[in-house]
Amino acid sequence: MFLVKKWVTPFLLPPGLFVLLLAVVGLWCIRRRSWAGAWLSLIMGGMIWGLSVPPTVDLLVGGLEQEAALPKEIRADVIVMLGGAAYQNVADLSGKGAPGPGTMERMVTAARLYRRLQVPIIVSGGRVYSEADSIALLTKRFLVDLGVPAAHILLEDRSRDTYENALYSKQLCERHGFRKPLMVTSAYHLKRARLSFEKAGLEVTPFPCALTTYPGKVYSWHHWLPSATALAGTSAALHEWLGLMYYRLRY
């Protein structure tokens, strides 16, 4: 019964539900000998299924994480943490707003590095939209809750994308005399971040967090079932590849 539940549930929820519905439509079209409709439905269902499984996510993310190795020696006089998404205005323990999953992973990594290095943290992230608070300000509140002294947190709250993260972080580093920044970001985002800091003229030591791929990863039957989590991962990876292409052309 347990295995039956694990097989059935993914097809009762999106995106598996859409795969099932398209398969039904495809079979109905075959029965009516509507071959164009059948092919269209089955191909669309197959594409949704293919984009919604972990092996596809790992295939896309693996190329992004190829250079996301942890530095052999961790030395820095400042930690530069790149902000990400956030949930604006939601109720929280110490105020309003909370970091999204990616920002949370970067923030926890930055806090752990602070405990080891005892150097200031530059939190980089401004307001992408006018109605939102800056990611930097929101993240600072959480870092203080995690035990990082407020006096050791510097805010870069003007940036709206990765290149501006690099540009404005460089200005802060120059202003405060930091020469060995350690740049913390998600592993899948590391390529674009490194490229941005190079273009901005700031030499950093990249420090990836939230690695998800590794050599020799083995997949079981349940990894081939469609899931919303995998589809979101595929979307994030494709967004990163497109962003990387744009940054290479733009900068």
Using 50, 70 and 90 to split pLDDT, how confident is the model at 73? very high
DSSP per residue over 72-94, as a string? SS---SEEEEEP--EEEEEEETT
Q: Tell me: the pLDDT tens digits for 53-67? A: 999 999 999 999 988
- What does each C-alpha distance from 47 to 26, 27, 164, 209, 231 come to in angstroms? 14, 16, 35, 30, 11
Cα angle, residue 56 at apex, residues 241 and 108 outer, rounded to 5°: 65
* Residue 121 φ then ψ, to 5°: -115, 125
Q: Is 197 helix (H, G, I), strand (E, B) or coil?
A: helix
Supply the pLDDT for residue 131. Answer: 64
Report the chain's mean pLDDT, rounded to a whole number: 94
Q: Which two tokens stand for residue 94?
A: 């110490």
Supply the pLDDT for residue 67. Answer: 84
- CA distance linking residue 237 with residue 242, whole number of Å: 9
State the pairing for strand pair 121-124/95-99. Answer: unpaired
Give the predicted TM-score (pTM) of the model. Answer: 0.92
Q: Tell me: the pLDDT tens digits for 191-205? A: 999 999 999 999 999
Q: Is 181 helix (H, G, I), strand (E, B) or coil?
A: strand
- What does each C-alpha distance from 179 to 75, 80, 90, 111 come to in angstroms? 11, 12, 37, 20
Which stretch of DSSP H or E encloses residue 97? strand 95-99
Say whether domain 78-209 belongs to CATH 3.40.50.620.
Answer: yes
Supply the pLDDT for residue 132. Answer: 72
Mean pLDDT (whole number) for 155-162: 95
Using the structure block, give the residue that is written with the tokens 């509507």. Answer: 34
Is 244:195 a contact under the CB 8 Å cutoff? yes
Mean pLDDT (whole number) for 10-33: 96
The CATH 3.40.50.620 domain(s) of the chain lie at 78-209
